[in-house]
Structure 1
Amino acid sequence: MKKLSLLAVSALAIAISAIMIQFQNGNPSVETITFFPLNDAVKFKSASTSLSLFQDKKNNQHQVDWRVHSSLDREAYLRQDMGLLFVNGVLQKKFAKWEQDTADLSQEERISYRESARYDAISFHYAELHGDGNRITSAQRMSDDMIYVIDSPFSPLQSFTIAKSNQEKEWKKVLDQSVRNRLELSLKHAENTFRFKVSDYLSIPLDTIRRYEDQPFTGFTKQETANILGKLWEGLYKYYYLGIKKSDGTTIDPIGSTMPLILIAKDKSHLLVVTQTSTRESIILKQRL
């Protein structure tokens, strides 16, 4: 199975070997997502991610309700849901849930924040199925949601998804530009650090990845794209959600890191996942295609 590996600025071979050993000999009690061949006969009946603003503040902070739900069309040996919530392009919250011998999963969190913000939430819904002859297959689906929250002393607390009024359009423009600037700086810093050319890749922010459930990546079939997505989320869980391994060998919580950018090589050989930690260190994960 192809894995994501960490590229360090120096001692590249040692860094790759170290991270592979880490996950081959890791603590087996830590639940993970493992990609198995997709089972086309198994479907998710529903999968949803939702964000909604509470109208009352608490401790001078607004609050957003974050809910994730998924339902498979049958019980699975293992059901897992993983959710990531970004505020203004930075990972603010994360959660994951897993249960055996069930079809349905639900999770809910409340997030507090003190200023106007763009919220982007994306979830990966996964099922591991055991069949006859020890055959293991999987099913997967993504869901997402986003809202803008206007939290200003000059206007009432409000939220929207689609900007309608002039005020909403102005706030959308400001908040979108803020996220764009943050991700562009993250990408530029990684390009300068690791000496690759962004022009050689198709760049996809993680908050837009769900569209590729319905359309394939350029140059790939729909089935190939589904397999790439499954392995991508396996790697994101192991090397991002559970902790980011830095170039010095230490592991840092991903909270405070920038939204991952998925870079797919135009020669179809590999993809990169680019992020910047809360301590402003550029990190690249690589997956062979």
Structure 2
Amino acid sequence: MKATKITILLLCILTLCYSTYYFLSNDKVEVEESLIFFPIDPDVQFIEATSNVYLLDQEDEDEYTIKFLSQSRLDRKAYLRQDLSFVFEDGILAATLSKWKENASTIKQKKEINGEDSSYYETVTFHHAEIHYPDDIIKSSQIMSYDFLYVIDSPLSPLEAFKIPETNLEREWKFILDNTRKQQLQYVWGKLLEASALNASDYYAMPLTALINYNDKTLPNLTKKQSQKAIGGLWEGIYKNYFLGIKEEDGSISSPIGSSLPLILLDKQSTHFIILFETKSGKNVKLIQKIG
């Protein structure tokens, strides 16, 4: 009987330890998987914020490797630093990157993916810092970076990559790849607008990658402070509902890889954003992010 009581006591202790560990582990995950906008601190600045995409090497005759890098440095250590990136190939999400650090100023992240055929690559990164002050005051700092690359992989010419075309061949391929991407995205976005019963003339429209233009520029009808808050809130919503996965009707979460480049719509009264994209399986997704 005494041995049984000791056994039960040990089991209870082990269960309590496991429960405590499980709670702390899951609490850690929750912290890592949160990106929350707080008022911008104008005294805190990013002194470096870059995204880069370049051709690494050729694997074989039919495949090559593309490398993506992003790095950022704040002018001080922050309670929480996080960078998240999207990589698109011809308007389709090919990869995501995210890195999270506590009590840090600098973040570096990299990723390699295999490619084939001629393609147009884009990467956009949201660099974010959460700064804590005494008396429970929390503020943010944020900036975006962007890069792109054209890759020519044709049986008629050697493998090469460029950003700005310098030869007639590069100019021809830029025209082909730009138009292929444009036609495909216009087709997808047209379907999304029709399915959502939205009138395009009621909105300012831009792809997600064009948000880089609003690092310093204000959104229509908004002040700089309001624009920064709107952009921060938009990225918060994109992170939760696109980057971390797409919620299905049955409650399951599916990967965003293979989905279309999101179309960002800002209503002309600047009260809300609508984010539209098509999943890899062809499902239409509509997200709404209020500005207020």
- Aligned residue among 165, 168, 172 for 1:166: 168
The TM-score normalised by the length of structure 1 is 0.88
- Aligned residue among 241, 251, 269 for 2:253: 251
1:83-117 superposed Cα distances (whole Å, 9 cap, x missing partner): 10000000000010001011001011111111110
Provide the rounded CA distance (Å) in 1 between the counterparts of 2:182 and 2:175: 10
Structure 1's consecutive aligned runs of 4 or more residues displaced over 3 angstroms after TM superposition are 246-250
Query: What's the secondary structure of 1:57's corresponding residue?
Result: strand
The equivalent of 1:190 in structure 2 is 192
The equivalent of 2:83 in structure 1 is 81
Gaps of 5+ in 1: 1-26
Shift of 1:248: 4.8
1:34-183 superposed matches below 5 A? 34-58=36-60, 60-183=62-185
- In 1, are the aligned partners of 2:221 and 2:269 still within 8 Å (CA)? no
Provide the rounded CA distance (Å) in 2 between the counterparts of 1:271 and 1:181: 24
1:43-66 superposed Cα distances (whole Å, 9 cap, x missing partner): 011011011112433473111111
1:7-39 superposed Cα distances (whole Å, 9 cap, x missing partner): xxxxxxxxxxxxxxxxxxxx6423221111111
The equivalent of 1:271 in structure 2 is 273
The equivalent of 2:232 in structure 1 is 230
The farther-off stretch of 248-257 and 40-49 is 248-257
CA 1:126–1:249: 2 relative to 1, 3 Å? same
Provide the rounded CA distance (Å) in 1 between the counterparts of 2:201 and 2:188: 15
Provide the rounded CA distance (Å) in 2 between the counterparts of 1:201 and 1:213: 20
Q: Which has the higher contact order (CA 8 A, sep 6+)?
A: 1
Shift of 1:230: 0.4
The TM-score normalised by the length of structure 2 is 0.87
Provide the rounded CA distance (Å) in 1 between the counterparts of 2:215 and 2:138: 22
- In 2, are the aligned partners of 1:274 and 1:284 still within 8 Å (CA)? yes
Shift of 1:204: 0.7
1:241 aligns with 2:243: yes
- In 1, are the aligned partners of 2:97 and 2:110 still within 8 Å (CA)? no
Query: What's the secondary structure of 2:218's corresponding residue?
Result: coil
- In 2, are the aligned partners of 1:55 and 1:157 still within 8 Å (CA)? no
Identity of aligned residues (%): 36
Query: What's the secondary structure of 1:56's corresponding residue?
Result: strand
Shift of 1:123: 0.4
The farther-off stretch of 165-174 and 154-163 is 165-174
Query: What's the secondary structure of 1:54's corresponding residue?
Result: strand
Which residue identity does 2:173 align to in structure 1? W
Shift of 1:236: 0.7
- Higher percent of residues as helix: 2
User: May I ask how many residue pairs the two structures share in their alignment?
Assistant: 263
The equivalent of 2:202 in structure 1 is 200
Shift of 1:258: 0.4
Shift of 1:218: 1.8
RMSD: 1.4
Provide the rounded CA distance (Å) in 2 between the counterparts of 1:264 and 1:164: 36
Q: Which has the larger radius of gyration?
A: 2
1:173-207 superposed Cα distances (whole Å, 9 cap, x missing partner): 11111221222122211122121111111111111
- In 1, are the aligned partners of 2:220 and 2:270 still within 8 Å (CA)? no
The equivalent of 2:6 in structure 1 is none
Shift of 1:250: 3.4
The equivalent of 1:280 in structure 2 is 282
